[in-house]
């Protein structure tokens, strides 16, 4: 005597549930991976933003120093530290160290006759550097900006 005959549809009971659970797990893993990738990208973007702000703070310090003649005539040997707000939101976000300006080259300004050369102003070339470090977010973001500038100074100028 043969056993009970099963219909072809009856043998597959539960397999649809198993396949759907496997697909659900796979889709969940895709979702978790997408969220993690998004979080990593968000952190990268934030680090880039903070580094760019630090660079802007250092550049702002250099621009302020360039606009003052005393930077080139009575400069000190120690670096100057200041707090800078490059975003303009009212809070000082970056600590900026302005290094001592370095006079690279000095020569008499061209265009003066030989008899007036002793009274000619001096063309000087300077290297200015500033380093900015994140002071409020604790991210450790930092940037260093170095710039060269040519300044015409009085005849009494010297290059140390």
Please write the tens of the pLDDT for every residue from 127-154. 999 999 987 777 788 999 999 999 999 8
Percent of the chain with pLDDT over 70: 89
Which of 70, 72, 94 is CA-nearest to residue 81? 94
CB 21 within 8 A of CB 109: no
CB 86 within 8 A of CB 57: yes
Residue 27's Cβ-side half-sphere holds a number of Cα atoms within 13 Å equal to 6
Of 150 and 157, more confident: 150
CB 126 within 8 A of CB 136: no
Please write the tens of the pLDDT for every residue from 19-59. 999 999 999 999 999 999 999 999 999 889 889 989 998 99
């Amino acid at each position: 005597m043969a056993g009970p005959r099963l219909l072809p549809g009856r043998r597959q009971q539960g397999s649809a549930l198993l396949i759907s659970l496997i697909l659900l797990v796979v889709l969940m893993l895709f979702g978790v991976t997408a969220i993690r990738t998004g979080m990593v990208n968000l952190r990268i973007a934030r680090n880039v933003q903070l580094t760019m702000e630090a660079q802007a703070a250092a550049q702002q310090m250099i621009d302020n120093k360039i606009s003052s003649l005393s930077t080139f005539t009575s400069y000190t040997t120690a670096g100057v530290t200041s707090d800078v707000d490059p975003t303009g939101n009212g809070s000082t976000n970056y600590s900026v160290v302005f290094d001592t300006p370095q006079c690279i080259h000095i020569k008499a300004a061209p265009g003066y006759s030989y008899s007036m050369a002793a009274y000619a102003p001096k063309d000087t070339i300077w290297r200015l550097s500033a380093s900015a470090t994140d002071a409020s977010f604790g991210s450790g973001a930092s940037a260093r900006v170095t710039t060269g500038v040519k300044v015409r100074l009085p005849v009494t100028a010297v290059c140390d």
